[in-house]
Amino acid sequence: MSKDFYTQFVLPYAGIIIKICRAYTDNEEDFQDYYQEVCLQLWKSRENFKGDSKWSTWVYRISLNVSLSLLKKDKKVHKNSVELPNLDNGVQDSNPFNDESLKLLYIAIKKLSELDRAIILLYLEENSYQEIAEIMGLLPNNIGVKITRIKKKLKTLLDGKIY
Amino acid sequence: MERSIENIWKEGFESDKSFELPLVKDLYTRKSKLIIDKIKSTSKWDNLSLIPMAIFLFGLFTFLSKVILGIYVAALILLLFFLNKRMMKKLDQFDAGSNTYQYLTTYYTQLKIIQKFYIKLMAIGIPVFIIPAYWMYFLETPMMIDFMGLGIYFQIIIVAVTASLLSGLGVLCYKLSTHLVYGKLTTRIEEIINDMEELMKI
């Protein structure tokens, strides 16, 4: 990947990539892998970007697609492995955020299904329903209902301090 | 007052100054390691499966009152087992500490050398070792008596044709089984090497 491409097309959008990758990974090593894979895929797919949408929309789409496909692969790899017991009453503290509420919110987001996670991340990033639908390949009128349900789920998890 | 999730998200990221960007480096290290580990474990189990096969064939030929043939076939398979083991050890000797690209290309080249060696072994070894097994199997049968009654040229032609067929079949079986068991894994190594080479060009 050229330095110019990274500086111009990845770095300004790194926040998006980081926020999405954090929502799909449980440890720093996986997070680094996901982040790097997204960067690589952005570079590899640069010629497929036709300019019909904003570059940020493209970044969201690639980040989500890469995260979901890596998650699928990782699940296959760890399918037969023994999961370690959760020592913190269901709360996994692997995100490096200073803000305790944000940390909890991330933990709650990780409790959602993969699709719900994607939708709520796009919503929290202030994408319009139309943009979310475009990125996810869904119908815009379904998005609003879906978001209300996800927010309700998140609220329940946060009120119960997640379990 | 309770904060909404929208505010938690917005304010949380605004106040977070410890938000460090990950470094883009060693892009393929973990991925390559996973593929190579998979090849190692597949070939280990692939090779171990030769032992029950040797036992089964020894039992089968003993049951058919062809004990010598049973011992011969089992010995051949065990020989192949030890040969495979030696080859796998050779693959393990690479310096995993070298950079990913170097490690992958060396591993891939060695894998291809080993595959070429086995293709030659199948092409030459199968007829050389299987024709004596046929001889042992058909010894003193009417078929062998008929064969011995043929002229020397006919005998040579029959042996040569059988050897060629066995050789072709051996190579075909090897290529097919290698493709089925290791095809996807070697393709992934090729893809990674190509990606890395493309990255280096820029």
**Predicted local confidence at residue A46, as pLDDT:** 82
Q: Are B91 and B111 contacting, i.e. CB atoms less than 8 angstroms apart?
A: yes
- Owning domain of residue B53: 29-201
Residue B7 domain flag? no
Q: Domain check: are A100 and A150 in the same one? A: yes
Kindly state whether B37 is in contact with chain A, defined as any CB-CB distance less than 8 angstroms. no
**Cross-chain residue pair B22–A99, CB shorter than 8 Å:** no
pLDDT value of residue B56: 95
Q: pTM of the full predicted structure?
A: 0.54
Supply the CATH number for residue A101's domain.
1.10.10
Q: How many domains does chain A have?
A: 2
Positions of chain A with pLDDT under 70: 1-3, 73-96, 162-163
Nearest CA in chain A to B8: A102
Mutating which of B24, B27, B31, B33 best tests the A interface, going by the most A Cβ atoms within 10 A? B24
Cβ pair A105:B15 closer than 8 A: no
For residues B154 and B160, give the distance between their C-alpha atoms in angstroms, rounded to a whole number.
10
Same domain, A58 and A77: yes
Does B159 reside within a domain?
A: yes
What would the pLDDT profile of A29-67 be if each residue is shown by its tens digit?
Answer: 788 888 888 888 888 888 888 888 888 888 998 898 888
With cut-offs at 50, 70 and 90, classify the pLDDT of residue B22: low
Contact check, Cβ <8 Å, B13/A15: yes
Any idea how long chain A is? 163
Instruction: Tell me the shortest Cα–Cα distance from A145 to chain B, in angstroms.
Output: 17
What pLDDT does B200 receive? 62
C-alpha span between B169 and B163 (Å, rounded): 10
Do the chains contact at B22 and A36, CB–CB below 8 Å?
yes
Can you give the residue range of the structural domain that contains A72?
Answer: 1-83
The 3-class SS string of A101-116 reads HHHHHHHHHHCCCHHH
Arithmetic mean of pLDDT, B11-36: 65
Structure tokens given for B76: 């051949």
Which of residues A83, A106, A137 is at a domain's end? A83
Residue B100 DSSP label: H
Residue B146 in contact with partner chain A when CB distance is under 8 A: no
B167: its two tokens: 């050789």
Chain B, residues 14-33, CB within 8 A of chain A, namely 15-22, 24-25, 27, 30-31
B195 vs A contacts (CB less than 8 Å): 40, 44
State how far residue B45 is from chain A, nearest Cα, in angstroms: 17
Is residue B27 scored above 60 in pLDDT?
no
Q: How far apart are CA B38 and CA B33, in angstroms?
A: 8
Rounded to the nearest integer, the mean pLDDT of chain B is 83
A75 plus A113 within the same structural domain: no
Residue B120 tokens, joined: 């030659």
Whether residues B13 and A18 touch (CB distance < 8 A) is answered with no
Summarize the confidence of residues B30-48 as an average pLDDT.
Answer: 80
Query: Hey, of B4, B13, B192, which one would you mutate to test binding to chain A, going by the most A CBs within 10 A of its CB?
Result: B13
Judged by CB atoms closer than 8 Å, whether chains meet at B11 and A99 is answered as yes
Dist. CA B145–CA B149, nearest whole Å: 6
* One domain for residues A106 and A157: yes
Minimum CA–CA partner of B34 in chain A:
A77
φ/ψ region of A161 (left if φ > 0, alpha if ψ in -120 to 50, else beta) reads left
What is d(CA A52, CA A65) in angstroms, rounded to the nearest whole number? 18
Are residues A103 and A147 both part of a single domain? Answer: yes
Choose the final residue of a domain: A32, A50, A83: A83
Distance from CA of A98 to the nearest CA of B (A): 6
Query: How large is the ipTM?
Result: 0.78
Same domain, A71 and A93: no
pLDDT tens across B171-185, in order?
999 999 888 888 888
Residues A1 and A76 in one domain: yes
